Amino acid sequence: MDSPYRFVAHFIERFGPRKAGTEAETNAQHYLGEQLRTFCDDVAVEPFSAALRAKFSSLRFFTFGFLAALIIPYWSLSIAVLVALVNAVLYLFHFVLFHNVLDGLFSKQLSHNTVGTIEPQLKAENTLIFTGHMDSTPEFIWWYWLKNWGARAMIMAGLAWLSLPIYLLIAWLLKWSVFGSVGWWIYVALAPLSLVFFFIHGNRVVDGAQDNLSGIAIAYEVVRQLASRKLQHTRIRFVSFGAEECGLKGSAAYAVRYREQLIKENAQVINLDGVLDIDNMFVLEAERLPMQIHDKKLVAALLNAFERNGLPKKPGTIPIGGTDATSFTARGIAATSIVGLPMGSLHPTYHTRLDVLECLNPNTLDRITDVLVDFACTLDKRP
């Protein structure tokens, strides 16, 4: 595994798809720990428990809540307002904004984070952490079959769920007759779009070459190369998170457990996720839905490293979803993510069966590795 591309090929061949909480994910994390022990000073595979099914299983409850709020006005508009409002608020905070407010209603499963640390030659003045996630997702079937139209259908369904309580509340305040009205029929017409949430996942779990063995492979190779550079004052750490696809569970568990230590270490986190396209390589300034703005100094320093290595400076903001960097930013730890996917459209490989080894470009993985090795060495030499 002397290059990121061969790393990805090896893990896909050895472990295949790695759904969160499964034996494949667990075995991959332990095997990764064994490889890290060949050049890290300290290695640990850390178990954690979380409600791994809560994020996507909740979508079926939200679907029923939306449909119930459409039918209930036949008997009581005030009750329909309440049902629609509770449904929309829970959908917004649990699913859209990543607050996981319903996790307590679901059983917990076991996942793992794999951590490797390299101590500097002299006194550590800061810690630089390279991260990615090991798990791969069940296929988003509508994104495979309908491409961008599948994503648009999800957005439309979500907007219908969120706007229904507003319509019903206005109707209740103005004493409109809702059941059978034009507005009601519009929501009825939109109701079938809820199927894209109800049946969001297929039976197939994707290989996850770009999402996210690409990120893990680059982080691993960066740390492997830095092990021989003998940095003077910068502690280097590698973390492979479990259960990212379930709502950033692994990174949240790690950030909560080590928050105080990371702050004392003056830690900075560089997360890698979906490192696919060299022409669409972004350093995230912010993530819209988790409502997090990443550390400006870290983002600027990374962008400068890209420029030094002949790559364009591309700050970005992802419009939907979230990355593991938000788990740290939300807790006051400097972090950002490098994402190599288009920001304005759905890439065909994203969460589909097309996310295979052949979609990766070895040169892209190598160039981002070089950028990050340069970034770490420059940080270590900074007065």
pLDDT one-digit tens code per residue, 65-115: 999 999 999 999 999 999 999 999 999 999 999 999 999 999 999 999 999
- pTM of the entire structure? 0.95
Q: Determine the Cα–Cα distance for residues 46 and 288; give it in Å rounded to an integer.
A: 30
pLDDT one-digit tens code per residue, 31-63: 999 999 999 999 999 999 999 999 999 999 999
Q: Is residue 179 predicted with pLDDT exceeding 90? A: no
The CA angle 47-49-53, to the nearest 5 degrees, is 130
The H or E element containing residue 363 is: helix 362-381
Q: Residue 219 is encoded by which pair of tokens? A: 């982080």
Q: Is residue 383 predicted with pLDDT exceeding 60? A: no
Average pLDDT, the chain: 97
Buried b (16+ CB within 10 A) or exposed e, 260-270: eebeebebbbb
pLDDT top residue among 321 and 222:
222
Non-local (6+) Cβ contacts of 311 within 8 A are 278, 281, 367, 371
The H or E element containing residue 378 is: helix 362-381
Tell me what pLDDT residue 180 has. 83
Non-local (6+) Cβ contacts of 221 within 8 A are 3, 4, 7, 365, 369
Q: Determine the Cα–Cα distance for residues 18 and 321; give it in Å rounded to an integer.
A: 20
β-strands 267-275, 234-241 pairing: unpaired
Question: Among 191, 160, 187, 194, which Cα is nearest to 60's?
Answer: 194
What is the average pLDDT across 276-296?
96
